[in-house]
Amino acid sequence: MNHLPTEWTSDRLKDVTAINAASLPANTDPDYEFDYLEISNVDYHGVVDPNAIERLRYENAPSRARRRLGANSTVISSVRPNLQAAAFFSDGQDHLVCSTGFNVVQSHKNKLYPKFAYYSLISDGGRQYFEATAKGVGYPAVDDKDFNSFSVPLPPLSEQGRIADYLDASCAAIDAAVAAKRLQLETLDALRKITIAQTVTQGLDPARSRRASGVDWFGEIPEHWACEHLKRFAARIQTGMTPPTDAPEYYFEGTIPWFAPGSYDGDIELREPRKLINQLALHQGALRLFPGGTVFLIGIGATIGKVGLITEPASCNQQIIGIVTNHRISSRYLAYQMKIYEDVIPGIAAGTTLPIFDQVRTGYLPVLQPTGEEQQAISDFLDSKIAETKRTSAVIQQQIDTLLDYRKSLIHECVTGQRRVTEADIKRVQAHG
């Protein structure tokens, strides 16, 4: 640990803490119940959702559910991809057990202030150390020897307490600001959905006379609009294909974009193919090519119902249904209209464990048909409104990133002594945030 204040020292983590000191014994009563903290329950700001922590009986628990948490302990992941995800528990947790993917760290009270230990472990210095020492392929992990050898900065105990109190108040204020910004993003996203839904079902002229559409999610529509099954507006409705992955010749020097559910980001257009496939796969029938302007609908899996539009010829995997429109409807207008189905299809898809919505059912989805001029005007209007929303969202996201970067740098500066903390600093941040 370099460049610490002269009155500070440092020591190995194992010499100032107890690590993984308590575990469930092998002879634990099978009926013993506990709350199980899994790796997915924790991110880089603590427990993600306390309500998601599962209650288990020892008899039914996975073998990795073994490490017990004591009062004033830090749990920190030693395994990628959640490396350094951590949470601090101030109260005694008699019935909280965590995965062996975590290390449980409890400070020796005469050497290390518990919350200061937490901030040291989640600091940039901790991140750099754990990333450098993680070993293995697939899910690299920090082994016990390297974890125990992490160098902890040691100010005097009274100063450790001041730093922890200051960071508690400062991080709480930053987290509150980030939460407010994220709420703004959620509000903008809700407004985007409402704007799309209202515009594609009501048009741009509120004075037009209306009639009942007969479809719950459309409500009343302009009287002159048609409402028919999607297959009446489609030249082709077909799923994509995945070329065999054991045929590397299909993936060499690829030029054809190939989309999968991971390509969807909520925008109307799909821009990030997961792979590029070459012409050989197409010529040998291992790939289906769709023309630019095809609407891609996810028909299976966790993101079922998501909609996107390709702007150039592309392919997709078998989870995605390509909808090629005919002369009766604009593909861009259809893509906007089908954004309504992102919330509808998950509720009407067949299957429970793995929801499925196939191309036949897709063909029977109700679709509205304004005049050609209205379709173009609606698409142009929504393009403009969505672009405006995206610009605003980008500004807010930049503000969030700046706040999070400041949080990281503040923790690093405080635990390394680059920023010295006084009682006046604590009072100020507690009073004003």
Q: What is the pTM of this model?
A: 0.84
157-202 helix and 423-432 helix, angle to the nearest 10 degrees: 20
Domain 158-224+371-433 in CATH 1.10.287.1120? The answer is yes
Give the C-alpha separation, 245 to 258, whole Å.
Answer: 13
**Does residue 432 surpass a pLDDT of 80?**
no
CB-CB contact of 379 with 333 (8 Å): yes
CB-CB contact of 16 with 9 (8 Å): no
Q: How confident is the model at residue 94 (pLDDT cuts 50, 70, 90)?
A: low
What's the CATH number for 9-154? Answer: 3.90.220.20
In the chain, where the domains are located: 9-154, 158-224+371-433, 226-369
The fraction of the chain above a pLDDT of 70, given in percent, is 98
Position 351 scores a pLDDT of: 64
CB-CB contact of 336 with 394 (8 Å): no
Per the document, the length of the chain is: 433
Task: Please compute the mean of the pLDDT values over residues 269-291 and round it to a whole number.
Answer: 96
Position 328 scores a pLDDT of: 96
Lowest mean pLDDT of 6-15, 64-73, 175-184, 312-321, name the range.
Answer: 64-73
**Does residue 160 surpass a pLDDT of 70?**
yes
pLDDT in tens, 205-217: 988 999 999 999 9
Position 163 scores a pLDDT of: 97
What's the CATH number for 226-369? Answer: 3.90.220.20
Other beta carbons less than 10 A from residue 357's beta carbon: 22
pLDDT in tens, 3-22: 899 999 999 999 999 999 99
Position 44 scores a pLDDT of: 85
Q: Which amino acid belongs to residue 349? A: A
**Does residue 91 surpass a pLDDT of 80?**
no
Do 9-154 and 226-369 share a fold? yes
Position 170 scores a pLDDT of: 96
Lowest mean pLDDT of 138-142, 159-163, 291-295, 421-425, name the range.
Answer: 138-142
